[in-house]
Structure 1
Amino acid sequence: MSDAPKGPQWSTLDRDLNRISQLELATSYVSRPLVAPGIALAFIVIAGAVAAIFLGGSTSSFVVVAAAAFGAYMAINIGANDVANNMGPAVGANALTMGGAILIAAIAESAGALLAGGDVVSTISKGIIDPDAVATADIFIWAMMAALISSALWVNLATWIGAPVSTTHSVVGGVMGAGVAAAGISAVNWATMSKIAASWVISPVLGGVVAALFLALIKAKIIYQDDKIAAARRWVPVLVGIMAGAFASYLALKGLKRIVKIDLQTALIIGAGIGALSYIITAPLIRHQSQGMENRNKSLKVLFRIPLVISAALLSFAHGANDVANAVGPLAAIVHVTEFGDFAAKVTIPTWVMVIGAFGISFGLFLFGPKLIRMVGSQITKLNPMRAFCVSLSAAITVIVASWLGLPVSSTHIAVGAVFGVGFFREWHSERRRRNSSIAKAPETRIAPEERRRRKLVRRSHFMTIAAAWVITVPAAALLSGCIYLLLATVTH
C-alpha cells in the first residue's frame, strides 16, 4: 500500500523526462545544419581580422578587410565545389573513404597553394579587362570587389543545386561583368572571352575522349584477357608510368612558377624521365602484390587502388598550385592598389592572401564538400578503381595537350567530362556487346527499347544540370557582378 502513491508520480516524471529528451533531440536535429555555416562564418571573420593586422591602421584598411572576408568566402566555396572533381572518382570507386579523401585533399590542396602556387597572377584574370580603360583606383577596387562577391555567390549557388562548375570561369565572368559596368563594353577583350567560351566545349569533350580511350585500353589489354593477372603485371606499371609522367609534366608546367619558369618541351622531358623511373619502381611492386591473386576483376581493382589514390592526391596538389591564385586574384589586386595606389597588369600575391586561400579551401572541403564528392563519384555513373584511374589520368594528360595546342581549358570541366566519357563509353561498349550476343537469339528474347533506356549507365538528369550550369556560369556571374558593382558604386559615392 505504501508504494501505491509512487506509481503516478514516477509515471508523470517519465513523461516529463521523455518530453525533455524529445525536445533535446529536436534541438540537435535543427541546429546540426547550422554548425558548418557557423564555422565558415568564424573563418571569414578571422580572415578579415588577419587582413586588418597586416594592413595596420591605414585609411584603406576597411576595404581590404572586406575584400579578405569575401576572399575567404570564395575560397570556402572552391573547397566545397571544385575539389570534388579531384576526390569524387576515388571515393566513388571505394578506393578512399569520405574522411580519408577530405584529409588527403585538404593537405594536398594547401601544399599546392602554399608551396607551388603562382606568385604572379593577372589582376584582371588573364587580360579580360584593359586596365587603361578603368578611370581611377577606386573604380578598379570596387570592380574587383564586385567580381569577388559575384563569383563566390555563383559558386555557392552551384554547390547548393549540386552542379560542379569552374571557379576560374566564375571569376572570369565576375571580372567581365564588373568591367563592363565600370568602363563599358569596349573595355572587354572579346578575343580572350571567345577562347574561354570555346573551352566550355573543348575541355569536357577532350577529357571525356582521353578517359574513354584509356578505359578501352584497359578493357582490351587487361580485363578481357584470359590471364588477367599476367596482363596486369605488364600493363599496370606502364599506366602508372604514364600517370607519373603526365603529372610531373603538369606540375613542372603549371605548379612550379614560384621556383622556376619551365617551357612545355622541358616539362615533357622531365615527365618522360619521371615516368620511366616510376615504371622501373612499380613493375616489381605490382609483381609482388599480384602473387596469389585470383584471375578475376576483383583482383584488378586491388592493383589499381593505390595508383588511384596517388593520382587523386597529385590532382589536388596541382589544383591547389594552379587554381587558388585565380580565385584570390581579385583580392590580391585590391591589396596591391590600396598599398601602392596604382593598378598593374600583374601583381605579386602576398603570402597571407595565399594562406587565406589555402585554408579556406580546406575548410570548404571539410564542411561542405561531401555533397559534390558523392555526386561526382557515384551519382553520374558507377565507378570502380580502373574507371576512376582513367578519369584522373585524363585530367592530367588533357591539360598537357591543351597547353601544347594553346587552348584555354578548365580542370573542372575536364574531370567531370572524363567521368561522363567513361560512362558513355561503357554505354556504347555494353550496347555493342549486347547486339553481338543477341544476333543469334530469337527476337522475343531481346530487351525492349524502353528497358534499354531505363538501363542507361549515365544519369541524364545530372548531365543536363551540369551542362546548363557550365553554359550559364560566365553570363550569370557577369550579370550578378555588374549589378553588385553598380550597387557598390551607388553606396560609396
Structure 2
Amino acid sequence: MVAVETVATFVVAALASLFMAWAIGAGSSGSTPFAPAVGANAISVMRAGFIVGILGFAGAVLQGASVTEAVGTELIVGVQLSAIAATVGLLTAAALVAVGVFTGYPIATAFTVTGAVVGVGLALGGAPAWPKYQEIVALWVLTPFVGGGIAYATAKTLRAERVAERFAVPLLAGIVGALVANVQFSVLGPGSAGASIAVATATRLGIPSVSGLPVGRILVTLVLAALVVVALYRNMVRDAASGQRRFLLALGGLVAFSAGGSQVGLAIGPLVPLLGPATPIPLIVVLVGGGLGLLAGSWTGAPRMIKAIAQDYSSLGPRRSIAALIPSFAIAQAAVAFGIPVSFNEIIVSAIIGSGYAAGGSGVSRKKMLYTVLAWVGSLALALALGYGIFTVVDLLVGV
C-alpha cells in the first residue's frame, strides 16, 4: 500500500513537472533564444518556435543533468523534498510563469522556481543553503552588467566605420567556435561528467599535456576556431548579408540548445529527491520527459513571447542581434557548467538592451524595462512566500 501511494504521489509530482516544462518552453527557453533573430527579420516567428523546440530538447538531454541536480538537492539543507512539496513548488512556479506567458511579460523562470523550491523547503523544516544562494545571486546580479556590457561593446565594434564587417563578424564567430569547442556534452565523456569536443578530440588523438598545460585541448580549440573564421569569411566575401544571417541563426541555435540544458533543470529538478528504490527511474528518462515538455511548450506557446521580446524591447538589426546573442550563449553555458539556475529572460533582455544602447538607445522601451525588472523581483518574493504558505496549509490539512 505504501509503495502504491509513493508511486501515485510521484506521478502527481511528475505531471506538475510536465506542466512546468510546458510553461518554461512557452516562456523563457522557447521564446528568448531566437527573439533577436526574429527582431532582425532573419527568421519568422513560427519557424523560430519550431526550431527552438527541437534544439531545446537536445540541450535538455545532453546538458540538463547539472542544473537539474542543483535545483533538486542544493537549494535546501537538511531535508529532501517530498512528492507533495515538489508538487506544490512546481505548481506555484508554473502558475506564475504561465501568467507571464499570457500577459506578454517575461517572468524570470529561475526566480520563480528557485523561490518556490526554497519556500516549500523551508516550510518542510529545511535550512537555507547560503553558499549556493551566494553563487546564484552573484550570477543574477552580474548578468545584466556583464551581458549588457559585452553586447554594448560588440555592437559598438560592429557599427564602427573603421572596422570592416567581413573581418569583424568572422572573428566573432571564431570566438564562439572556441567556446563551443569547450562546452561539456554528456555523450562525449565517461559517466555523467561529460567532456568537451576539444578534450575528447585531444584524448582520441593522444596529444599529451606539457608541464600541466593542456596542449591538445588548446590546439583543437584553435583549429576549430580557425575553421569557423575561414568558412564565415568566405561567405561574407561572397554575400555579407547572407553571412550575417547564417551566423545570427547559428547563434540562435546555440542559445536555444543552452536554454534546454539549463531550463529543464528548473522543471524536473524537484523530482530528483524522489528518484529512489520506490521509483527506480534513471535521470536520463526524466531529462527526456522534461525535454519533451519544453518542446511542447515551444511549439504551442512560444510565438507570443517571441514577438513580445523581439518587437517590444528594441528594434534590432543583424549586428545588434549578433551582439546580443554572443554574451547570452557564453553566460548560459557558464551557468550550466557551474550548475546554477539562471533566467534566460534576464540574459537575453539584458543583452538586447545593451546592444540597443549601442545605437543611442533607439527602440528601447524604458517603461517595458521597468515593468520587467519589477516582475523579476516580485516573482521571486511572491514565489517564495506562496511556496512556503501553500505548503504550510497543505501540511496542516493532510499531515505531510
TM-score (norm 1): 0.69
Range moving further from structure 2, 162-171 or 307-316: 162-171
TM-score (norm 2): 0.84
* 1:170 CA displacement: 2.1
1:200 matched residue in structure 2: 140
1:28 matched residue in structure 2: none
* 1:364 CA displacement: 1.0
Of the two, which has the highest radius of gyration? 1
Equivalenced residue count is: 379
Q: What is the root-mean-square deviation of aligned Cα atoms in Å?
A: 3.2
- 1:153-168 map, 5 Å: 153-168=95-110
3-state SS of paired residue (1:427): coil
Distance, in Å, in 2 between the alignment partners of 1:329 and 1:238 is 38
Q: Which has the higher contact order (CA 8 A, sep 6+)?
A: 2
Distance, in Å, in 2 between the alignment partners of 1:94 and 1:278 is 24
Distance, in Å, in 2 between the alignment partners of 1:179 and 1:283 is 52
Distance, in Å, in 2 between the alignment partners of 1:386 and 1:485 is 48
After superposition, give the CA deviation of every residue in 1:80-129 in whole Å (9 maximum; x if it has no partner): 11121101111111100112111211111111222343278436546221
- Whether the 8 Å CA contact 1:200–1:470 is kept in 2: the answer is no
3-state SS of paired residue (2:316): coil
Query: In the alignment, residue 396 of structure 1 is paired with which amino acid?
Result: F
2:367 matched residue in structure 1: 461
2:20 matched residue in structure 1: 74
- 1:275-294 map, 5 Å: 275-287=225-237, 289-290=238-239
- 1:101-140 map, 5 Å: 101-118=48-65, 121-122=68-69, 124-125=71-72, 127-130=74-77, 132=78, 134=79, 140=82
* 1:466 CA displacement: 1.0
Is 1:484 paired with 2:375?
A: no
1:359 matched residue in structure 2: 292
- Whether the 8 Å CA contact 2:37–2:249 is kept in 1: the answer is yes
2:208 matched residue in structure 1: none
Q: Check 1:309–1:255 CA distance in 2 against 1; reply closer, same or farther (3 A cut).
A: farther
Residue identity (%): 26
2:210 matched residue in structure 1: none
Distance, in Å, in 1 between the alignment partners of 2:188 and 2:123 is 34
Distance, in Å, in 2 between the alignment partners of 1:407 and 1:73 is 22
Gaps of 5+ in 2: 200-212
Is 1:89 paired with 2:39?
A: no
Query: In the alignment, residue 178 of structure 1 is paired with which amino acid?
Result: V
* 1:154 CA displacement: 1.7
**Aligned match of 1:382 in 308, 311, 315?**
315
Q: Check 1:376–1:271 CA distance in 2 against 1; reply closer, same or farther (3 A cut).
A: farther
2:207 matched residue in structure 1: none
Query: In the alignment, residue 472 of structure 1 is paired with which amino acid?
Result: G
Q: Check 1:112–1:399 CA distance in 2 against 1; reply closer, same or farther (3 A cut).
A: closer
After superposition, give the CA deviation of every residue in 1:303-356 in whole Å (9 maximum; x if it has no partner): 31111111111111122123313321112322437437xxxxxxx853332222
Gaps of 5+ in 1: 1-56, 291-299, 341-347, 429-455
* 1:374 CA displacement: 0.8
Q: Check 1:219–1:378 CA distance in 2 against 1; reply closer, same or farther (3 A cut).
A: same
- Whether the 8 Å CA contact 2:18–2:289 is kept in 1: the answer is yes
Distance, in Å, in 1 between the alignment partners of 2:67 and 2:330 is 24
1:248 matched residue in structure 2: 181
Distance, in Å, in 2 between the alignment partners of 1:406 and 1:334 is 19
* 1:361 CA displacement: 0.9
Query: In the alignment, residue 60 of structure 1 is paired with which amino acid?
Result: T
* 1:251 CA displacement: 4.7
